[in-house]
Structure 1
Amino acid sequence: MASSSSSTFSSSLLKWMDIQVLLVSTIVFLLLADIMRRRRPKTFPPGPLCWPVIGNTVTIDFKKAHLELCRLAEQYGNIYSLKMSSSWSVVLNGYKMVREALVTQGDTMADRPESALSMEVSNHLGVVTSNGYLWRQQRKFALFTLKYFGVGKKSLESAILDEFTHLSRDIEELDGKPFNPHLPTNYAVANIICSLVFGHRFEFTDKKFQTLMAMFDKTIELEASIWAQLYDAFPMVMKRLPGPHQTVRNIYDHVKVFLREEIEQHKKDWEPSEPRDYIDCYLNEIEKSKENAAAGFTEDNLIMCSLDLFVAGSETTSTTLRWSFLYMAKYPEVQEKVQAEIDRVIGQSRLPTMADRADMPYTDAVIHEIQRIGNIAPLGLPRYTTKDVQLGDYLIPKGTEIIANLTSVMFDKEEWETPHTFNPGHFLNKEGKFVKNPAFIPFSAGKRVCLGESLAKMELFLFFTSFLQRYTFSMPAGVKPVMDFRFGITLAPQPYEICATPRHL
């Protein structure tokens, strides 16, 4: 009996050991397979050690990713490679390398990679993450329609200045007391794109509008976080786990509901012969393009395109303005020179116009320098090689994600006299006239350059000049400007309070 029990125990033990050996062998095999799969291709540039399974995902501090990528450039050169998700990425640094890729080789890098999270949100639609023929048609239509409704023209100036007037009334009531400019500035700038896309503005007190803006602000931060990277690396797992990545999905679901409501409202009183805004024009295009399904003119795409325009047309400009208030408070001597130029060219009896910019080289230089050192889009948005391409000494194969580190361009020591110092002289010649610097590419470059660039330039000049015409910015008593940033798709200042004291001349 004892012999039988002993035999059964031995048999069970052997089976358990066999299972353990099988499990260990399977794990080792999978790790080795992953290591082989993740080996850096022979033609690839060098880069940091790529760990099994996780690659470089958790070796980068995503709270300051742009600085981490600049640090790696010091070690590996202006072109190196990382394994950030399920595929390899090549990171480009410095003006010459970035220009070579995005402009000279731009035809091979006009597409966006298909990250799991962005595809979950966009489903290959919109004007930001779509590719190919559909993207070209949507971008062409968006540029034409925005221009039709005044972008880049004098007719839009009054809408921007009216929005400043709404904002300034709220600031005036504070009588120089400290306030956080984040949300008020967001509301004013966002209302410009609302007027173009929806055909109307929102009151700053509108609860639905406030919620929408808060959602956008949150997702801009989360989409560049480690959570988004983990989602892209392990989508099947992360999709089922709780965390901030789920917040991004929920936010976009809410935003899409809001946009669909706007579209349905438009359809109730839509007159094809008299389009009022982007949505009306798009509804017209849906009817015209029924025979051309590949162009992608559908209501689902209208939702995504509207969302893309809303983000592209508001976030970067409002963030730049918030940096501008901080820099004016930090450098009061610069603020005084801007105000002196405003008083000399425009005076106090009227609001500025875009025609004034040619006569205001110092103000123009200050705005550009704020954009440069504020570094609003630190990494831009990734590109994707559509065929094998030679970059530097390396052959980058088709299907490789390209990250153009715009931070390395904006602070390139070969292109800027004092790259880490706030210096409007970067954009002025010896005679004090404004000069362009080719390394100034805050809106990226090439075929995927930000389609909201013209609108942003108008808004920045008119808002900034109007603010400095009417107010002097300073920190609250006893408080020094803190130039710390909050990393996201855009690089925003940490929350702060500032005083806007009315100028009485």
Structure 2
Amino acid sequence: MDSISTALLLLILALLCLLLNTSSSKSRLPPGPRPLPFLGNLLQLRSSKDLLTSLTKLSKEFGPVYTVYLGPRRVVVLSGYQAVKEALVDQGEEFSGRGDYPVFFNFTKGDGIAFSNGDRWKALRKFSLQILRNFGMGKRTMEDRILEEGRFLLAELRNTEGKPFDPTILLSRSVSNIICSVLFGSRFDYEDERLLNIVQLINDNFQIMSSFWGEMYNIFPNLLDWVPGPHRRLFQNFDRMKNLIALSVRDHQASHDPKSPRDFIDCFLTKIAEEKQDPLSHFHMDTLLMTTHNLLFGGTETVGTTLRHTFLLLMKYPKVQARVQEEIDNVVGRARLPVLEDRTAMPYTDAVIHEAQRFADIIPMNLPHRLIRDTVFRGFLLPKGTDVITLLNTVHNDPSQFLTPREFNPEHFLDANQSFKKSPAFMPFSAGRRLCLGESLARMELFLYLTAILQSFSLQPLGAPEDIDLTPISTGLGNVPRPFQLYLRAR
């Protein structure tokens, strides 16, 4: 390398160092490990098996609020219940922006309800929440949909005839049908090619985003766009999903009657038509496609993954499973399916479901937040636009909130009288302004599905319960449970 090239390289490195290590004169950033040019804190972050473990370790060294560089991108990390609660709840407006998440943003381009910001996000959230409520979310009509789908699932489970099977695809198809019925107007047969494609694409992307390749793409998206690897499949899957949704939208357009909406897509099409003359409208075709995708992804993957984690827990702890079944028998019996009204009379079952969600910790790093204005937080002055990672795993494992946080213990959600008790540190759906839109739907599904299954079957592992491995196979966007088989013993 000649002297001119060397000098240019040194100049570029110096500028990168300056960019990484200086902030605006008015900001006072939290402490953190010293970054390298371009790489940021990659060396510290790769000292553990995954990003989550590395960020959790750094919080022990630098405290509950610290600064880290994911490549060249500066991020503030919050750890522990108190810090996360102060941000998302006490200062929820300031922390209400959506931070950078390249694996999603490169597909959504900031469209859709999950990854939009500002007025667009507020308009989409208000509209989507109202439409979902109109179609029964949180109401008896939605409960009826779930009970109907539960009967289809139970029939499929009976067809296993006590033979070993992997529940992943079956659970995903059934859970996905609930949100599909709201978005597309009807459920799909379990062998329908569209439903099978939806489930396969979502499951595949969730696993890739939770892998090493997903983590690295979020840190170095521009570099990995040129590197071969499984992450390239993410965007192929995204495009296939977009095409599936677009095909359904075209079918809706051909038979659309604004006076008689059948589902979410119909309502969105009506809103687009109403605001087509408004140049500032947030309702366009791309927004419809991305919002539908966001709701479909969230409504399929999280509940299905939670149920798989819960199956593993109940097989590993058969006494817990037996006690849930005893409560079901005492409160519901065998003559009818459990309904939501039963939940208040089933505190142990409710506690087990909450504890399974806490222990499984499906989205351990939450989706990133962003500060919408300069914000004073715990003595630091964080500039507008700063991305914030809230480590929900440290909330769900906070020893100040849970007596035995590393253990599966339903007593965390029971008081001295064995009545159900809430915990402010229970945040599987996040908290504050960006609370998951489908929280009430997910809670309904988890209770109705699990109680219906345990009313009819006992979950049996293929080996000894003590040999069941509860550690996720990968941790990134989500905690993905290890593949497993089980068999069902009719009760």
Deviation at 1:365, TM superposition (A): 0.5
Cα distance between partner residues in 1 of 2:450 and 2:203: 21
State which drifts further: 286-295 or 417-426.
286-295
Q: CA deviation at 1:427?
A: 0.7
Structure 1 residues 199-208 or 102-111, which shifts more? 199-208
Task: Give the partner amino acid of 1:240.
Answer: W
2:416 counterpart of 1:430: yes
What residue is the counterpart of 1:16 in the other structure? none
Matched AA of 2:414: L
Could you give the per-residue CA deviations for residues 74-132 of structure 1, whole angstroms, max 9, x where no partner exists?
Answer: 11111111101432101000111001111111111111124444332012210000011
Contact 1:134 1:294 in 2 (8 A): no
Q: Is 1:246 paired with 2:228?
A: no
- In structure 1, the residue matched to 2:32 is 47
Which moves more between the two structures, 95-104 or 219-228?
219-228
The one-letter code matched in structure 2 to 1:451 is L
* Change in CA separation of 1:286 and 1:116 when aligned onto 2, cut-off 3 Å: same
Determine if the alignment matches structure 1 residue 452 to structure 2 residue 434: no
What is residue 14 of structure 1 aligned with on the other side?
none
The whole-number CA distance in structure 2 between the counterparts of 1:239 and 1:182 is: 30
Structure 2 residue matching 1:156: 3-state secondary structure: helix
Measured after TM superposition, the shift of residue 69 of structure 1 is 1.8
Q: Distance in 1 between matches of 2:74 and 2:324?
A: 46
**One-letter amino acid matched to 2:353:** I
Query: Which sections of structure 2, spanning at least 5 residues, go unmatched?
Result: none
Q: Deviations over 1:236-289 (max 9, x none)?
A: 443333222321111111111100000011112222111111011111111112
CA distance change for structure 1 residues 314 and 63 in 2, over 3 Å: closer, same or farther?
A: farther
Selected match of 1:302 from 288, 302, 305: 288
In structure 2, distance between residues paired with 1:93 and 1:234: 24
Secondary structure of residue in 1 paired with 2:2: helix
Distance in 2, matches of 1:65 and 1:296, equals: 35
The answer as to whether partners of 1:85 and 1:229 remain within 8 angstroms in 2 is: no
Deviation of the 1:229 alpha carbon: 4.6
Given residue 18 of structure 2, which amino acid in structure 1 is its aligned partner? M
Deviation at 1:446, TM superposition (A): 0.7
Question: Is 1:212 aligned to 2:198, yes or no?
Answer: yes
State the SS of the aligned residue for 2:56. Answer: helix
Q: Could you state the TM-score of these two structures normalised by the residue count of structure 2? A: 0.95
Q: CA 1:23/1:297 → structure 2, altered by over 3 Å: closer, same or farther?
A: same
Percent identity among equivalent residues? 37
- Counterpart residue type for residue 38 of structure 1: L
Question: Which one of 248, 258, 271 corresponds to residue 285 of structure 1?
Answer: 271
Partner of 1:489: 477
Q: 1:37 aligns with which of 13, 19, 28?
A: 19
Residues in 1 aligned to 2:271 and 2:107: alpha-carbon distance in whole angstroms: 23
Counterparts in 2 of 1:286 and 1:421: CA distance versus 1, 3 Å: same
Give the aligned residue type for 1:483: L
1:222 aligns with 2:199: no
Q: Provide the rounded CA distance (Å) in 1 between the counterparts of 2:305 and 2:221.
A: 31
Partners in 2 of 1:149 and 1:270 — Cα distance?
17
- Tell me the amino acid that sits aligned with residue 380 of structure 1: N
Deviation at 1:164, TM superposition (A): 1.7
Show the counterpart of 1:259: 245
Residue 161 of structure 1: CA displacement? 1.6
**How large is the RMSD of aligned CA atoms in angstroms?**
1.7
Cα deviation 1:325-355 (Å, max 9, x = unaligned): 1111111111111111100110000001111
Mind listing any 5+ residue stretches in structure 1 that lack a counterpart?
1-18
> In structure 2, do the counterparts of structure 1 residues 117 and 335 end up closer, same or farther at CA, with 3 Å as the change threshold?
closer
Tell me how far apart the structure 2 counterparts of residues 224 and 47 of structure 1 sit (CA, whole Å): 25
Q: Kindly tell me the number of residue pairs found equivalent between the two proteins.
A: 485
- SS state at 1:109 partner: coil
Indicate yes or no: 2:333 matched with 1:347: yes
Distance 1:391 1:225, change over 3 A: farther
State the alpha-carbon separation in 1 of the partners of residues 469 and 223 from structure 2: 39
1:56 matched to which residue of 2?
41
Contact kept? 1:137, 1:295, Cα under 8 Å: no
Residues 87 and 400 in structure 1, CA contact (< 8 A), matched pair in contact too: no
Task: Please give the residue correspondences for 1:87-486 in structure 2 after superposition, counting only pairs within 5 Å.
Answer: 87-478=73-464, 480-485=467-472, 486=474
Answer yes or no: is the 8 Å Cα contact 1:63–1:225 preserved in 2: no
Cα deviation, residue 51, structure 1:
1.9
Q: Does 1:25 align with 2:13?
A: no
Instruction: Answer with 106-115 or 86-95: which moved more.
Output: 106-115
User: Would you say the 8 A contact 1:377–1:489 is kept in 2?
Assistant: yes
8 Å CA contact retained: 2:71, 2:219: yes
**In structure 2, what is the Cα distance between the partners aligned to 1:439 and 1:301?**
33
**Alpha carbons 2:101, 2:368 under 8 Å: kept:** no
